[in-house]
Amino acid sequence: MGERKNNKHRGFKFPFGGPPLPNPKPFRGWKFSIIYILILAVGMSLFNYVFMKRVNPTIDFSEFKAKILSGEIKRVELTDAYFTGYTTTKKDGSAVPAVPAAPSLKRNGTSGTEPVYRTVPLNDPDLIRLMDEKQVAYYAVSREGSAILNIIFSWILPIAFFFFIWRFLMKRLGNMGGNVLSVGQNRAVIVAEGDIITRFSDVAGVDEAKEELVEVVDFLKTPQKYTDIGGKIPKGVLLVGPPGTGKTLLARAVAGEAGVAFFRMSGADFVEMFVGVGAARVRDLFKQARDKAPCIIFIDELDAIGKSRLNNIAGGNDEREQTLNQLLVEMDGFDATSGLIILAATNRPDVLDPALLRPGRFDRQVLVDRPDLPGREAILRIHSKAVRLSPQVDLAAIARLTSGFVGADLANIVNEAALLAVRGGRTQVVQKDFEEAIEKTLAGLQKKNRIISPEERRIVAFHETGHALMAAFTPGADPVQKISIVPRGIGALGYTMQIAEDRYLMTEGELLGKIDVLLGGRAAEELIFGKISTGAANDLTRATDIARQMITDYGMSSRFRNGALTRRGASLLGSHQAPEPVLHREYSEATQEYIDDEIARILETRYAQVRETLAQREALLHTVAELLLEKESLDEKEFKELISR
Ligand code: ADP
Ligand code: MG
Ligand code: ZN
C-alpha cells in the first residue's frame, strides 16, 4: 500500500556506488575497496614525500664543478637523476670500481663518514673533460639495478609498511571493541546460547507482559506445535513501555528461557554518518542471525530507526529511512518457521512508522508498564536477594513509599541503601537506609514529574473510581477491565480500562452512556472534594465530541432529528488537493448556536444524572477508592467483587 517508499526521488546522496537497497552485495564489495585504495594511495605519496625525496640537491652545479676543480671531489657517480661526488676514491683503494656500486641509500650529504656532494645533472661536456683532467674517477650506474630498487622503495616497502600499520590499528581497535573501518559490519552484541542467565523469575511486576512472552518462548522451543496446526508464528514482538520498566531485561529473559542465541543491538547503532551503512548493518545482522537460528534478534530503542517517515516533510533523513526500509525488507524476507523472532523495545510507540506495525512485522505489542504495589514489592525482593538485609526491613512498606517508581529505580534504591549501610558502618541494610535512598531518588523523579503528592493521589483515585462505577452501572457500557492510579508519564495520572468490543453501530442510549462514563470522573471529584480539577480535561473533550457528533452527524437532536449537518469533503483517496477530509459547514449561524446550546444541554443533563447516580453510591465510591489507594490497581475480578457486595 505504498508504505515502503523507495529512495529514488531523493537519489543523489549515495556516496559510493548506487543505492544499496535492491541487491547491494556487489556495491558493497567495491565500495569498500575504493576506500582502502584511496587510503593506500594517500599514504604512499606521504611515505614517498617523507622518506624518499628523490631529488635532493645539496649544492649547485657550478659549486660541484668548483669542488672537482679544487680536487675535493675524487670520485663521481653519474645517474639520470643526479651526480654524486665523493671525496675519496673507492675505499678498497682501487680508483675505479669494476662493477658500479649501487647508489648510496643515504642521501643527506654523507655516505658513511665520507662527505658527499650531490647536484642535479646538466648536460655539460666540460664536466667530463674537467674530470679527466683532474683524474676524477667517474662512472654511470646501471639503470636496471636502480629500477628494481626504485620499485622496492617506492612501492613494496610502503605497501608493507602500511599493511603492518593497518594490521596493528585493526588489532588495537578490535581490542577496544570498536570497529571503525569495517563500517558495514554489525555491532550486535551476540550472546551465545546458554550464556544468558536471565530468567523470567528475575523480572517482576510486569505479569501481563510476561504471560505474552512465555508464549514466544514456546514458539522458539516447539515451533512445530504451532505450524502443524497451520498457525503462523509471529515474527516480531514489540515491547512498549516507559524507560527502566524492564524491557531489555524481559528480552534477555526470553532468550534465556528459550535457550537460544541472542543478538542485541540498539537502534542508535544502525544510524551512522554514511548513507547505506545502517542498511548494511541490518542486512549483516539478519544474515548472521539466520545462520544461528533458532535465535532472537533484539533491537533496543527501535524508535531511533523506526521513526515515521511521513513526518519528514523537509527532505527527511536518508540514512535512517534506508535503514528502516532494509529492516522492513528483512522482516518480510524470512519465513516464520525459521526459528527467528525479532523483539524490539521502545518507549515512543507513537512515533513509530506505521509500516513497522503491520501484520507480519511487529504485529504483537506487549505493554511493559510501571509496576503497581505488589509488583514493586516483588521487584524489591528480587534485587535485595544479593544484599544482606536486616530482618526488620519491611519491603512492603518500601513498596508503598515508591509509587511511580520503575524497576530500574527500585534496583537503584536497593543498591543505594546498601551503600548507605556501608557508609554508616553497618553490616546489614536497615529500613532507615531504604528510606534515605528513596528520598534521594524522589528528588530526581519529582523533577521529572513522575511523582504526585498524596492529595493529588486521592483525587485521582476518586476520579478513576467515578469512571469505573459509572461504567459498572450504565446499562450497555463496556465492562471495567482494570483501574489504576499508577502515574504514567506526564499528564496521565491514572486510568480506567474498559474492555471495548468491536462495534459497528451504537444506539443513542449507548452514546449517552459513553458520555456518562466519561463524566463520572469529574462528578466523583466534585461529590467527594466539593471542587473540580483539571484532571478531567481529556474526558471532557471526548464527551463533548460525542455530544456534537450526535447532533451534527447522527441526527439525534430534537430539531434535526434525522438530518446530518456536516458533509465530509473529498477524502484522501479521492482527491489530490485535500490531504485531510474537509468539513463543509452547510448550515446557518442560528444552527451553529443551536448546536452549541444543545451540546451544553446534553452535557449538563447527563452530568446532573451522573452525580445523582454516584451520590446514591457514595459508600461504594469510598470503598473502591480507598482500596485503589492502597493497592494502586484493581483488576476486573477485584472490582466486580467489590461492587457486587
Ligand atoms: P528498559 O529496557 O525498559 O529501559 P531495563 O530492562 O534496561 O529497562 O532495566 C534496567 C534495570 O532495572 C534492569 O537491569 C533490572 O536490574 C532493573 N529492572 C527493571 N525492570 C525490572 C523488573 N520488572 N523486574 C526486575 N528488575 C527490573
Ligand atoms: Mg532498555
Ligand atoms: Zn478521567
Q: What is the pLDDT of residues 276-299, one digit of tens each?
A: 777 888 888 888 888 887 888 899
Ligand 1 within 6 A of CB of 247: yes
Name the average pLDDT for the chain.
78
Question: Which atom of ligand 1 lies at the shortest distance from residue 249's CA?
Answer: 6
How far apart (Å, rounded) are the C-alpha atoms in residues 18 and 21? 9
**CA nearest to 237, candidates 218, 304, 191, 310:** 218
Higher pLDDT, 644 or 571: 644
Ligand 1 within 6 A of CB of 535: no
- Is pLDDT above 90 for 530? yes
Ligand 1 within 6 A of CB of 198: no
Q: Which ligand is nearest to the CA of 383?
A: 1
How far apart (Å, rounded) are the C-alpha atoms in residues 534 and 513? 22
Instruction: Note whether 195 and 334 are same-domain residues.
Output: yes
CA of 184 relative to ligand 1 center, distance in Å: 31
Confidence band of 132 (pLDDT split at 50, 70, 90): confident
Burial of residue 536 (number of CB atoms within 10 Å: 0-12, 13-18, 19+): buried
- Is pLDDT above 70 for 206? yes
Ligand 1 within 6 A of CB of 196: no
Q: Which ligand is nearest to the CA of 249?
A: 1
- Is pLDDT above 60 for 472? yes
- The sheet with strand 137-140 has its strands ordered as 110-111, 114-119, 83-86, 75-78, 137-140
* Cell numbers describing residue 618: 457514595
Higher pLDDT, 200 or 124: 200
* Cell numbers describing residue 130: 674537467
The position carrying cell 640537491 is 57
Q: Which of 213, 239, 249 is the best mutation target for the ligand 1 pocket, counting ligand atoms within 8 Å of the beta carbon and taking the most?
A: 249
* Cell numbers describing residue 564: 446530518
Neighbours of 270 (CB within 10 A): 28
* Cell numbers describing residue 395: 519491603
How far apart (Å, rounded) are the C-alpha atoms in residues 304 and 324? 10
Q: What CATH code is carried by the domain that includes residue 207?
A: 3.40.50.300
Confidence band of 32 (pLDDT split at 50, 70, 90): low
- How many domains is the chain built from? 4
Q: What CATH code is carried by the domain that includes residue 431?
A: 1.10.8.60
Strand ranges inside 293-416, DSSP E? 295-300, 340-346, 364-367
Higher pLDDT, 269 or 484: 484
Instruction: Note whether 460 and 434 are same-domain residues.
Output: no
Instruction: Note whether 214 and 278 are same-domain residues.
Output: yes
The position carrying cell 490531504 is 579
- Is pLDDT above 90 for 467? yes
Beta-strand pair 110-111/114-119: antiparallel
Instruction: Name the range with the highest mean pLDDT among 168-172, 449-453, 521-525.
Output: 521-525
**H or E segment to which residue 551 belongs:** helix 537-552
Q: What is the mean pLDDT of residues 567-572?
A: 46
- Is pLDDT above 60 for 19? no
Confidence band of 89 (pLDDT split at 50, 70, 90): confident
- Asked if residue 424 belongs to a domain, the reply is yes
Q: Which residues pair with 475 in a beta bridge?
A: none
Question: Which atom of ligand 1 lies at the shortest distance from residue 371's CA?
Answer: 23
Q: What are phi and psi of 266, to 5 degrees?
A: -95, 145
Instruction: Note whether 156 and 195 are same-domain residues.
Output: no
Q: Which of 87-91, 211-215, 253-257 has the lowest mean pLDDT?
A: 87-91
CA of 345 relative to ligand 1 center, distance in Å: 12
pLDDT tens per residue, range 98-114: 344 444 444 444 444 55
CA nearest ligand 1 atom 17, residue: 408
CA of 509 relative to ligand 3 center, distance in Å: 21
Confidence band of 372 (pLDDT split at 50, 70, 90): confident
Question: Which atom of ligand 1 lies at the shortest distance from residue 345's CA?
Answer: 2
Give the end of a domain, one of 146, 167, 182: 182
CA 98 to chain centre: 74
Instruction: Tell me the C-alpha to C-alpha distance, in Å, between residue 274 and each of 8, 55, 271, 317, 322.
Output: 17, 41, 9, 11, 11
How far apart (Å, rounded) are the C-alpha atoms in residues 481 and 498? 5
Q: What is the dihedral of CA 222, 224, 226, 231, to 10 degrees?
A: 150
CA nearest ligand 1 atom 12, residue: 408
Query: What's the confidence (pLDDT) of residue 312?
Result: 54
Ligand 1 within 6 A of CB of 206: yes
Secondary structure of residue 331 in the 3-state scheme = helix
CA of 229 relative to ligand 2 center, distance in Å: 35
Instruction: Note whether 472 and 511 are same-domain residues.
Output: yes
Confidence band of 413 (pLDDT split at 50, 70, 90): very high
CA nearest ligand 1 atom 18, residue: 407
Query: What's the confidence (pLDDT) of residue 20?
Result: 36
- Asked if residue 396 belongs to a domain, the reply is yes
Q: What CATH code is carried by the domain that includes residue 624?
A: 1.20.58.760
- Domain span at residue 423 reads 373-443
CA nearest ligand 1 atom 27, residue: 407
Burial of residue 9 (number of CB atoms within 10 Å: 0-12, 13-18, 19+): exposed
Cα angle 485-369-535, degrees, rounded to a multiple of 5: 35
- Asked if residue 26 belongs to a domain, the reply is no
Contact 451, 487 (CB under 8 A): yes
Q: Which ligand is nearest to the CA of 541?
A: 3
CA of 487 relative to ligand 1 center, distance in Å: 18
**CA nearest to 264, candidates 301, 214, 293:** 301
Query: What's the confidence (pLDDT) of residue 370?
Result: 86
CA nearest ligand 1 atom 14, residue: 249
Instruction: Note whether 126 and 171 are same-domain residues.
Output: yes
Could you give the angle at which helices 125-134 and 61-69 cross, rounded to 10 degrees?
20
pLDDT tens per residue, range 539-551: 999 999 999 999 9
One-letter amino acid for residue 140 of the chain: A
Query: What's the confidence (pLDDT) of residue 578?
Result: 40
Instruction: Note whether 219 and 359 are same-domain residues.
Output: yes
Q: Which of 370-374, 408-412, 445-449, 624-628 has the lowest mean pLDDT?
A: 445-449
- Is pLDDT above 60 for 160? yes
Cα angle 410-411-413, degrees, rounded to a multiple of 5: 60
Secondary structure of residue 292 in the 3-state scheme = helix
Contact 499, 572 (CB under 8 A): no
Ligand 1 within 6 A of CB of 324: no
Ligand 1 within 6 A of CB of 205: yes
Higher pLDDT, 480 or 32: 480
Q: What is the mean pLDDT of residues 42-62?
A: 67
**DSSP structural state of residue 534:** G
- Asked if residue 28 belongs to a domain, the reply is no
Count Cα neighbours of 427 within 13 Å in the Cβ-side half-sphere.
Answer: 0
- Asked if residue 469 belongs to a domain, the reply is yes
Q: Which ligand is nearest to the CA of 468?
A: 3
* Cell numbers describing residue 66: 668548483
CA of 539 relative to ligand 3 center, distance in Å: 5
Instruction: Note whether 238 and 379 are same-domain residues.
Output: no
pLDDT tens per residue, range 579-624: 445 556 678 888 889 999 999 999 999 999 999 999 999 999 999 9
Ligand 1 within 6 A of CB of 367: no
Give the end of a domain, one of 322, 349, 367: 367
Instruction: Note whether 511 and 627 are same-domain residues.
Output: yes
Q: What CATH code is carried by the domain that includes residue 104?
A: 3.30.720.210
- Is pLDDT above 50 for 1? no
Query: What's the confidence (pLDDT) of residue 62?
Result: 85
- Asked if residue 102 belongs to a domain, the reply is yes
Neighbours of 498 (CB within 10 A): 17
Q: Which ligand is nearest to the CA of 301?
A: 2
pLDDT tens per residue, range 142-158: 655 567 777 787 788 88
How far apart (Å, rounded) are the C-alpha atoms in residues 272 and 111? 53
Query: What's the confidence (pLDDT) of residue 607?
Result: 96
How far apart (Å, rounded) are the C-alpha atoms in residues 389 and 393? 7
- Is pLDDT above 70 for 453? yes
Query: What's the confidence (pLDDT) of residue 93?
Result: 44
Instruction: Note whether 158 and 221 are same-domain residues.
Output: no
How far apart (Å, rounded) are the C-alpha atoms in residues 596 and 577? 31
Catalytically annotated residues = 464
CA of 347 relative to ligand 2 center, distance in Å: 9
How far apart (Å, rounded) are the C-alpha atoms in residues 543 and 550? 11
How far apart (Å, rounded) are the C-alpha atoms in residues 629 and 371? 14
Query: What's the confidence (pLDDT) of residue 17?
Result: 33
How far apart (Å, rounded) are the C-alpha atoms in residues 388 and 406? 22
CA of 301 relative to ligand 2 center, distance in Å: 7
* Cell numbers describing residue 335: 519465513
Instruction: Note whether 225 and 338 are same-domain residues.
Output: yes
Q: What is the mean pLDDT of residues 27-56?
A: 63
Ligand 1 within 6 A of CB of 239: no
Instruction: Tell me the C-alpha to C-alpha distance, in Å, between residue 443 and each of 360, 436, 581.
Output: 44, 11, 47
Question: Which atom of ligand 1 lies at the shortest distance from residue 205's CA?
Answer: 23
CA of 450 relative to ligand 3 center, distance in Å: 18
Q: Transcribe 146-213 into DSSP letters.
A: HHHHHHIIIIIHHHHHHHHHHHHHHHHHHHHT--SS-TTS---EEE-TT-----GGG--S-HHHHHHH
Burial of residue 236 (number of CB atoms within 10 Å: 0-12, 13-18, 19+): buried
CA nearest ligand 1 atom 11, residue: 408
Ligand 1 within 6 A of CB of 599: no
**CA nearest to 543, candidates 467, 461, 625, 464:** 467
Question: Which atom of ligand 1 lies at the shortest distance from residue 252's CA?
Answer: 6
CA nearest ligand 1 atom 7, residue: 248
Ligand 1 within 6 A of CB of 204: yes
- Is pLDDT above 90 for 88? no
CA of 189 relative to ligand 2 center, distance in Å: 14
- Asked if residue 1 belongs to a domain, the reply is no
Query: What's the confidence (pLDDT) of residue 54?
Result: 47
Q: What is the mean pLDDT of residues 479-486?
A: 87
Burial of residue 139 (number of CB atoms within 10 Å: 0-12, 13-18, 19+): middle
- Asked if residue 507 belongs to a domain, the reply is yes
Q: What is the mean pLDDT of residues 163-188?
A: 60
Q: Which of 71-75, 170-174, 349-353, 528-532 has the lowest mean pLDDT?
A: 170-174
pTM equals: 0.58
One-letter amino acid for residue 395 of the chain: L
Instruction: Note whether 251 and 304 are same-domain residues.
Output: yes
Query: What's the confidence (pLDDT) of residue 8?
Result: 34
Q: Which ligand is nearest to the CA of 385?
A: 1
How far apart (Å, rounded) are the C-alpha atoms in residues 280 and 188? 13
Give the end of a domain, one of 367, 389, 404: 367
Q: Which of 68-72, 105-109, 214-218, 324-328 has the lowest mean pLDDT?
A: 105-109
- Is pLDDT above 90 for 309? no
Query: What's the confidence (pLDDT) of residue 539?
Result: 92
Ligand 1 within 6 A of CB of 181: no
Ligand 1 within 6 A of CB of 375: no
Ligand 1 within 6 A of CB of 249: yes
Ligand 1 within 6 A of CB of 346: no
Helix ranges (H only) for 553-617 are 589-616
